[in-house]
Structure formats: structure tokens, C-alpha cells
Amino acid sequence: MAVRAQTNLVKRGGVFYFRKKVPTDLRDHYGAESIRKSLRDFSSMADAKREAGRLADLYEAEFATVRRSRSAPTVPLTERMIPELAKALEAHILAADDEARAEGYAETAFALMADETAASATLRPGLRY
């Protein structure tokens, strides 16, 4: 059953799914026509809509970043840039955290975000940090 096209939500078998079409010019980058994610941790439509909205915003920002990176000249990373980049990343993460705290999260959304954050924070063996 389709919920509403603009919500990026589809409900099948009692589970909500997020679906977002990949823009035509970025399909080679993503290797797919659409992005799909299960929202199985979100049982209410209101929570699923909130999460779908968050994901839609996230992917729109990512699409813009990919487009910019394709048109931007590459700049070699220098030792001097690393602390500046780390400081900018920290500021970005803290600002996003402040915004999330101000808006509030449903318990299931918070748990999912914590799991995703923990998974992405895993250091890769063999890389020097």
C-alpha cells in the first residue's frame, strides 16, 4: 500500500520503507535508480514520516555534495588541513546534535541513530589515524 508519494514512504506487510529516487545524473554514482531502507523500527506512521523526512533531507544534501565534488577541482590533503577539517567536522556534528536535541527523537529513532553512529565510527584496521 502506497502511503503518499511525497512522504517517500511505502508500507508493505506492516513495515514502513523509505524510498527515494536517485536523480538521473547521479545513478552511475549510486548504481541504482532508487534508494530503499527499511524503517522496521518505526511502528507508527508519524515516527516513520519523521524518519523518512530526515532521510530525504540527508540524501538531498548528499546528492548536492556528490554533484559539487564532481565539478570541484580536487585539492591534495595536507598535514595542515587535517586539524582544520577535524575542527569543522566536530562543529558540524555538534550543531546537528544540538538541532536533534531541540527537536527531540522518538526512542526508536534515537536507538537507530545511535547504532548507525557506532557502526560508522568503527576504525578501519590498517589505516593510520
Can you give the three-state secondary structure of 56-78, one letter per residue? HHHHHHHHHHHHHHHHCCCCCCC
Task: Answer yes or no: is 117 within a domain.
Answer: yes
90/54 same-domain check:
no
Each residue's pLDDT tens digit in the chain (129 positions)?
454 446 799 999 989 999 999 999 999 999 999 999 999 998 899 999 999 999 999 999 999 999 988 887 778 889 999 999 999 999 999 998 888 777 776 777 777 777 777 766 665 555 554
Same domain (yes/no): 84, 60 = no
The domain tally of the chain equals 2
47 domain residue, yes or no: yes
- State the pLDDT at residue 4: 46
17 with 53, same domain: the answer is yes
**Of 17, 63, 61, 55, whose CA–CA distance to 36 is shortest?**
17
Residue range(s) defining the domain that contains residue 38: 1-74
64 lies in the same domain as 86: no
- Contact assessment for residue 29 and residue 66, using Cβ atoms and an 8 Å cutoff: yes
Based on the fold, state whether residues 27 and 64 are members of the same structural domain.
yes
- The amino acid at residue 55 is L
The C-alpha atoms of residue 49 and residue 47 are separated, in whole angstroms, by 5
pLDDT of residue 49: 92
Do 18 and 33 sit in the same domain of this protein? yes
Q: Are residues 95 and 69 in the same domain?
A: no
Q: Give pLDDT, residue 125.
A: 58
Check residue 57 and give its pLDDT: 94
Please tell me the predicted confidence (pLDDT) of residue 108: 75
For residue 128, tell me if it sits in a domain: no
Contact 34, 22 (CB under 8 A): yes
